[in-house]
Structure 1
């Protein structure tokens, strides 16, 4: 056992602390090539990750960079720096700690390259940028350890793929480097360990004591949840009462728009003037920092927020988390729950607030999964090739390279271990020439091969442009919003939303109602007049779909004879569905057909997630048109697709025939706007499209125009171009979730329960409220929705629920 140095033992003793077993394990196994620590929030996993570093540096003598810490958030890196400096300063350790993110000044960045600190805290993008410099071998040559925090969050996106490619490069520069991953929520530890390790080296997994089960329940409200919608306005009084009972409450939402709506309603109902803030990624940095500072100081009783506060930042004395809307993903729910009682072996307290009646079922299923510690997550596919292309360009910026060495280096990355040489050569050729259809243009000839076989940049000046566009996070096409006469921005809204505004319109941002005055120098100017019902600003962000595991858990709930765990109103609703039609089953597709308001409707329950069900709707309507059934439109939710048209569907089986489904899908996809959108994202990451230029930045319209021309050109003259192949792969597994449709069809194997009905079924009728035919803001509109719901329920045979 490696004992802590005496100075550390004294420091622990002064605080009445004892080293946790998992912290000792990390210290004992500090020389392992790779370690993955899974420890609960508040379990001291950050200190566990850094203890070997602090102990090694305590005696002084190490020159240069010793440990690199990588975080998915700039704010988390800054928070860790504050937390690490406490023991370092109190013990008087000769250790220099600095962070390097997009917020770091140019002067400090230059100094860090010349004289790296002992511990550098950064993000994947900043690390990739550092590796693109010619002096990367000198900067990283002394590196001993890399600590990747919240590794589960990075592994779910292309940022994780980029980071692991960077680690492969670091390992070549510093063969002695050890890898450490930290996380509180990992559904498949072996898969994450495989990503973290240098293939084929092993990665040991250390599990800390998970601690007590969280204190989690569904919020009890006087008013029943509505039949549809995502605002959860009905729960405002109950939420305010909970805020009053606790010191600091985090109120999580799944989207920024929902957070804005809820905060606005909460503020209007806040007659006690409780200090409440709002925090999400589209707000100005200054406003976010003010909220964060107020949280740390304990000046706020509640913060309405989104995923911007998901991760492991300790924001003060948070003793309650409220999740508004079904969490959609158990792992995300556990991560958010962990924000409350950020202390080891103290149970986190959380409440779930379903936004509508079906979400009651989802929330109960999620509660059961949390109690059983049953995390969810979809298996990760092969490493994306657009990220690989960017990595090749980054490597070229740092100096000449040998293609065989780079190929072998990349194959040490878990996601790329099966990469074929032909696929690598395709990516290298693309970086060198732009591909067959573009090789005549100098703009895309970025690499050349020297007589000695080494590859290098064709024009050294290209390095600046490549560096300016490093990263895999797709920028949204947004415009700054600021008060007229004030240069400080309030936040951002999407260009498409700004285009719908006329002077005098009002909208919500940062929880306040502002009046649109005009567009000046690509900035939306507003005033604080609020004489109209506000629109909801459009914020780009993730729209979560139910995880596959959570959907299967809901289907298993439907098999029960009754539901004592559900509120009476929801249990009676499901009972009525079973009487009028039937409930969906896991190994069958339930299809209901019925007339309503002069139209014929078909409702298919697939439980494949919103994106997949929407894609299924597109495919079904395409097949219906082919056989002359005249569909008029459809709407999709996480669990079903509802289509209406002029003709009845008497035999739904052909609509779900999987034999030609992929061909039908690819035919539809080839002419769909989703392909151009996917192409734009992949081409930007791969370096074909540059958003940032030395003297300017392309607007969203300019980037769209450029990418659309490229897409059409390649489709016509080079249909097998690498970027088109990447686009197809990305579209299939990304925006449309085609894999989940295939999983649904495989799971049900052609077994269809067709229920011809003479009226709307209880389970389908909330979908009529999803169509957007009825506005959802204001008391009058709320009453209209209630009246519409009552009318639909009566037509379905429901009177009392």
Structure 2
């Protein structure tokens, strides 16, 4: 039966006329969706999935509109993981809507009126406020949105007023969401929608090929789901083409140059090509090199760090056929409409099978066309792995999905969002969770633990004041929110991590994209970089943005961005291992090249891969495979031993396996050991000469694996990274301020929180981060499979010692070098502890009274009974009248069982009754200390008498408690009062800050004026000149500066004769040091005992004779040396030559002036040159420049102060800054 018969004739006629026959996907999906069944539609790209989901609802809504039963309210929600994809869907919906409208117009049924129309609207982060207001006034029939925008609508009353009438929801690109917390976030939003609407929504999931289908169906809905996944044969072809680099050319990036040539040669005659790469920097690099060949504009880029405007521009250009080639990352994997794509390229080996299939589906988008992908490997190894990937894709070996479970951080975010409305009871949450697959295993205790975290329980336990994220009534199991809850839920929503990226903007404010924080830190104003195939020059670096102006591409750098990868799955690793095992057999049989050709490699790629395999077998005798782990021991260039483990099972197994092996190695050697890992193995490298023993993998026990990994996990970078993300997801980092928050600030705050919470093993975020690492990033069942295989022998471990590392170890050895390059040797903890101990004895600045009072001030009072209960939970006991709140509030709380009144006259939160009984009745010391610490924190400084009066303890007991708290550093006694140590320290910092504020920072012009004030303008010119030489003695400056800049600006009416007269006086002499310049020195600094014979021995000819004469005779006129020199040589020229070496000087500055004008003199007439030479012979006496005595650092410091007045790193001269600091201390 033709499924089109279920539609109204208008719809049926339009479809037949515009599209012809339905695809198999549409044939199977329409009846299920029309019957109201939850439906999962899984099929390759280009098989009509979108229309299979929409057409039933369009037909139904149009039919209702014709008979007048369609209300102006929301009926259908479509959720897209990409904002740009949402825009595409609205455009694509125009086709059926306008087509059916045309059918209605031409039917003759609407002669008196126009056919009814359906309203479609988009709600994303780009939707304007006016559009949102219009949506509230007139809700659309079909709403297109994103997971984050759907959550925000659920958080607001106005959004709920639009959503509550919805009947169905379409989740597009389900495969892109199912493995992530973003998907978990969306599924909980849909569960909340079920509760908001009068009945559970019909759920339709659209996905590319996904496995296993039954799990995906369970993920989509807890109710029965109809699976539509027809067996559709689509012809595919994957070819691996290896470019041949010209390694003799000496050009930069020869591989990329050749890849660009090969890519251009393949696509120059095509109308549209997408070239996929594995990183944003590679997209920019490929486009740059292709444009060098084809001309600017031939290739453009598309990736997540470009602005939405730039991405939209290239999408439009590609769709319109005006852009020939697009260099893209995974941002183009999803179904963004860019028209018909003739070719798809992949540069380098794809990261996963599923992404390869997604990218392959971009070419030959229509069902009956062949999809072709050309892979261009950059190395022989990439050629081999590209071939293996191609074979697995041909066999349909897609990775299985692995949806995250629990997701307590996401749950926390939704619990705050739900509290912003009318509040909720705990049981309502427990009813909600089974409707969202990732939260099915969440228990009541889990929810209560998360609520306690949000309410501040863990901060209360550590006496840290915190504004609760929710108002949690534990007695009645009720949750409410306040304005702060709403601020948190809106400002810090979603699960996309904040990576501290800098916005790139033009001077006019147009956003171009984003840059990695680390790249910006390594850049300076004036630097140029490529972004979106255009070159930009940095004009200004601001707190959260980089301002740029357009520039030329030559010399522009390629930016870099850092990303996270989960790595290869076990199933794919096993498939790769089986292929490697087959290739090893083929090598023995002499058919290796044939096998490689069958993988899809061209002749050049076959040659490279064959050589690579043969060299590996020659080095190790075997290839690693699905049944063999290869371990090689070798020494690096420094002589230290390294251990390379070749394991094809993927990073999700290799990461935990590396940690277990490292811990096993530590039992044998005491050296510090590090490791790096990837999809193909891991490398252990100890620091030191100790050797890693063999047989470590055989020591590993399956039963010990999980406990060891759980113990080690908190100190791994993986745990720290995910904990930071999870604290942000759970809204525990506070309100996210507008603009960029530096990544280092996020890391610091997260590290402080982790350090405080790590002792709470059951803290929701600690639990969730452990779970995420162990289950989502690592594959522990797969690890057990490998460990059991090693023990049973089904997986053999071949261990060998080699002189040089094998070819397959090259990539990991490169990573090791990179890791060591950026290892700045952090200070050992022992040194930190020693420093802390040393600082304990340092006398602290006592805080001022006003600052002590200020830090103890109450910032805000509770505004209602709920906030008063939260205050009691945080601050502890309250005496009636102690706060300006109505006593009726306390009484009402007591009636509801949330508060109670206990002797001696204290109001407390009912949840803390046991704690107070332990302190007041049972005399529990720990409980008493906790009460006193909270008293000091929230009620200000105390004495033993005040504590006794409040709690009815004896004075001795109170004094002992305060003494023990002071000894533990938790309290500080000063002037007869005890203060909470953190408040006291904060007051001390306030005092220091206040005193520093009294030190006024002056502009640099004031310093220049201060230096100018040292010029002796009131003295005679000769005295001014002597002051200048004294101030600037021993300082080298270019020779031209002295009489053009330095002296004239400091000596009134300066004349050259003044300097000649001063030098002739015998207090100062000059020393010429060639191109370095010239300096003046004091005769009193000369070391008259210095030996000058070594200098004499190093001279030759007339220079030696002249120097020896001056050494014997002392200061002499040039004429006295005439008879001593050989040949027709002027004594003056010889003396000038010695002066250039800094060996002699004259008691006049005239020789220096003539030396400076030697080039000009060389062009003068003979008569002029003779006149100058004759005059030079009478310019004073010449003498040897004796070495100067060693001047002490203290004396050098005195001269620095005389010269510069203020000493700092930039002004210190004659000594190093470290020497200056040491002297000043």
Tell me the TM-score normalised to structure 2 length.
0.59
Q: What pairs up with 1:255-270 in 2 under 5 angstroms?
A: 255-270=279-294
User: Is the alpha carbon distance of 1:76 and 1:599 closer, same or farther for their aligned partners in structure 2, counting shifts above 3 Å?
Assistant: same
User: Is the alpha carbon distance of 1:183 and 1:283 closer, same or farther for their aligned partners in structure 2, counting shifts above 3 Å?
Assistant: same
Q: Which of 419, 427, 440 is residue 442 of structure 2 equivalent to?
A: 419
Quote the Cα distance in structure 1 between the aligned partners of 2:660 and 2:257.
35
Partner of 1:51: 55
Three-state SS of the structure 2 residue aligned to 1:155 is coil
Cα deviation digits, residues 294-345 of structure 1 (max 9, x gap): 1121111100011111101220221111111211211111111111122222
Cα deviation digits, residues 354-397 of structure 1 (max 9, x gap): 23222222211221122112211353342311111111112222
Partner of 1:679: 723
User: Is the alpha carbon distance of 1:587 and 1:113 closer, same or farther for their aligned partners in structure 2, counting shifts above 3 Å?
Assistant: farther
Quote the Cα distance in structure 1 between the aligned partners of 2:23 and 2:134.
37
Quote the Cα distance in structure 2 between the aligned partners of 1:381 and 1:522.
33
Quote the Cα distance in structure 2 between the aligned partners of 1:189 and 1:225.
49
CA contact (8 A) 1:37 1:206 kept: yes
CA contact (8 A) 1:328 1:547 kept: no
CA contact (8 A) 2:277 2:348 kept: yes
* Range moving further from structure 2, 648-657 or 293-302: 648-657
Partner of 1:583: 623
Partner of 2:308: 285
User: Is the alpha carbon distance of 1:24 and 1:17 closer, same or farther for their aligned partners in structure 2, counting shifts above 3 Å?
Assistant: same
Three-state SS of the structure 2 residue aligned to 1:374 is coil
Once the two structures are TM-superposed, the CA of residue 195 in structure 1 deviates from its matched residue by 0.4
Q: Which of 748, 752, 765 is residue 797 of structure 2 equivalent to?
A: 752
Once the two structures are TM-superposed, the CA of residue 579 in structure 1 deviates from its matched residue by 4.0
Partner of 2:978: none
What is the total number of aligned residue pairs between the two structures? 767
Q: Does 1:651 align with 2:694?
A: yes
Cα deviation digits, residues 512-571 of structure 1 (max 9, x gap): 444444423432234555798555423243446233222211110122111323213312
Partner of 2:773: 731
Three-state SS of the structure 2 residue aligned to 1:651 is coil
CA contact (8 A) 1:67 1:143 kept: yes
Once the two structures are TM-superposed, the CA of residue 39 in structure 1 deviates from its matched residue by 2.4
* Range moving further from structure 2, 745-754 or 654-663: 654-663
Once the two structures are TM-superposed, the CA of residue 450 in structure 1 deviates from its matched residue by 9.1
Once the two structures are TM-superposed, the CA of residue 34 in structure 1 deviates from its matched residue by 0.8
Once the two structures are TM-superposed, the CA of residue 653 in structure 1 deviates from its matched residue by 1.9
Q: What pairs up with 1:235-314 in 2 under 5 angstroms?
A: 235-270=259-294, 275-314=298-337
Partner of 1:787: none
Tell me the TM-score normalised to structure 1 length.
0.89
Q: Does 1:406 align with 2:429?
A: yes
Three-state SS of the structure 2 residue aligned to 1:538 is coil
Partner of 2:681: 640
CA contact (8 A) 1:519 1:525 kept: yes
Q: Does 1:79 align with 2:88?
A: yes
Quote the Cα distance in structure 2 between the aligned partners of 1:775 and 1:516.
30
* Range moving further from structure 2, 424-433 or 125-134: 424-433
User: Is the alpha carbon distance of 1:702 and 1:222 closer, same or farther for their aligned partners in structure 2, counting shifts above 3 Å?
Assistant: closer
Partner of 1:709: 752
Greater helix share, 1 or 2?
A: 2
Q: Does 1:12 align with 2:20?
A: no
Partner of 2:1122: none
CA contact (8 A) 2:535 2:553 kept: no
User: Is the alpha carbon distance of 1:763 and 1:220 closer, same or farther for their aligned partners in structure 2, counting shifts above 3 Å?
Assistant: closer
Quote the Cα distance in structure 2 between the aligned partners of 1:13 and 1:667.
64
Q: What pairs up with 1:741-780 in 2 under 5 angstroms?
A: 741-749=783-791, 751-772=796-817
CA contact (8 A) 1:479 1:495 kept: yes
CA contact (8 A) 2:242 2:383 kept: no
Quote the Cα distance in structure 1 between the aligned partners of 2:516 and 2:636.
37
User: Is the alpha carbon distance of 1:397 and 1:426 closer, same or farther for their aligned partners in structure 2, counting shifts above 3 Å?
Assistant: same
Q: What pairs up with 1:142-161 in 2 under 5 angstroms?
A: 142-161=165-184
Quote the Cα distance in structure 2 between the aligned partners of 1:122 and 1:609.
36
Quote the Cα distance in structure 2 between the aligned partners of 1:683 and 1:595.
42
User: Is the alpha carbon distance of 1:709 and 1:450 closer, same or farther for their aligned partners in structure 2, counting shifts above 3 Å?
Assistant: closer
Quote the Cα distance in structure 2 between the aligned partners of 1:365 and 1:262.
24
Q: Does 1:595 align with 2:635?
A: yes
* Range moving further from structure 2, 25-34 or 664-673: 664-673
Q: Does 1:573 align with 2:612?
A: yes
* Range moving further from structure 2, 400-409 or 232-241: 232-241
CA contact (8 A) 2:380 2:612 kept: no
Quote the Cα distance in structure 2 between the aligned partners of 1:530 and 1:537.
16
Three-state SS of the structure 2 residue aligned to 1:463 is helix
Q: Which of 74, 81, 90 is residue 65 of structure 1 equivalent to?
A: 74
Three-state SS of the structure 2 residue aligned to 1:749 is helix
Partner of 2:953: none
User: Is the alpha carbon distance of 1:486 and 1:714 closer, same or farther for their aligned partners in structure 2, counting shifts above 3 Å?
Assistant: same
Q: Does 1:382 align with 2:391?
A: no
CA contact (8 A) 2:488 2:731 kept: no
Q: Which of 149, 154, 163 is residue 186 of structure 2 equivalent to?
A: 163
CA contact (8 A) 2:419 2:470 kept: no
Quote the Cα distance in structure 2 between the aligned partners of 1:759 and 1:556.
27
Q: What pairs up with 1:243-642 in 2 under 5 angstroms?
A: 243-270=267-294, 275-435=298-458, 437=461, 441-449=465-473, 454-457=478-481, 459-483=482-506, 485-528=507-550, 535-543=557-565, 545-560=567-582, 561-562=585-586, 563=592, 564-566=594-596, 567-581=606-620, 582-597=622-637, 598-610=639-651, 613=654, 616-617=657-658, 620-621=661-662, 623-628=664-669, 630=671, 634-642=675-683
Name stretches of at least 5 consecutive residues in structure 1 with no aligned partner.
777-801
CA contact (8 A) 2:274 2:327 kept: yes
CA contact (8 A) 1:682 1:727 kept: yes
Quote the Cα distance in structure 2 between the aligned partners of 1:323 and 1:380.
28
Once the two structures are TM-superposed, the CA of residue 752 in structure 1 deviates from its matched residue by 2.2
Cα deviation digits, residues 153-177 of structure 1 (max 9, x gap): 1112111111111111112223152
Once the two structures are TM-superposed, the CA of residue 47 in structure 1 deviates from its matched residue by 0.6
Quote the Cα distance in structure 1 between the aligned partners of 2:478 and 2:714.
38
CA contact (8 A) 1:252 1:306 kept: yes
Three-state SS of the structure 2 residue aligned to 1:702 is helix
Quote the Cα distance in structure 2 between the aligned partners of 1:635 and 1:697.
31
Quote the Cα distance in structure 2 between the aligned partners of 1:382 and 1:537.
36
Quote the Cα distance in structure 2 between the aligned partners of 1:158 and 1:624.
36
Three-state SS of the structure 1 residue aligned to 2:40 is strand
Partner of 2:111: none
Three-state SS of the structure 1 residue aligned to 2:758 is helix
Once the two structures are TM-superposed, the CA of residue 239 in structure 1 deviates from its matched residue by 0.7
Quote the Cα distance in structure 2 between the aligned partners of 1:744 and 1:37.
35
* Range moving further from structure 2, 517-526 or 624-633: 624-633
Q: Which has the higher contact order (CA 8 A, sep 6+)?
A: 1
Once the two structures are TM-superposed, the CA of residue 151 in structure 1 deviates from its matched residue by 0.7
User: Is the alpha carbon distance of 1:691 and 1:442 closer, same or farther for their aligned partners in structure 2, counting shifts above 3 Å?
Assistant: closer
Once the two structures are TM-superposed, the CA of residue 506 in structure 1 deviates from its matched residue by 4.0
User: Is the alpha carbon distance of 1:503 and 1:236 closer, same or farther for their aligned partners in structure 2, counting shifts above 3 Å?
Assistant: same
Once the two structures are TM-superposed, the CA of residue 122 in structure 1 deviates from its matched residue by 0.5
Quote the Cα distance in structure 1 between the aligned partners of 2:636 and 2:536.
41
Three-state SS of the structure 2 residue aligned to 1:525 is strand
Once the two structures are TM-superposed, the CA of residue 242 in structure 1 deviates from its matched residue by 1.3
CA contact (8 A) 2:315 2:338 kept: yes
User: Is the alpha carbon distance of 1:508 and 1:138 closer, same or farther for their aligned partners in structure 2, counting shifts above 3 Å?
Assistant: closer
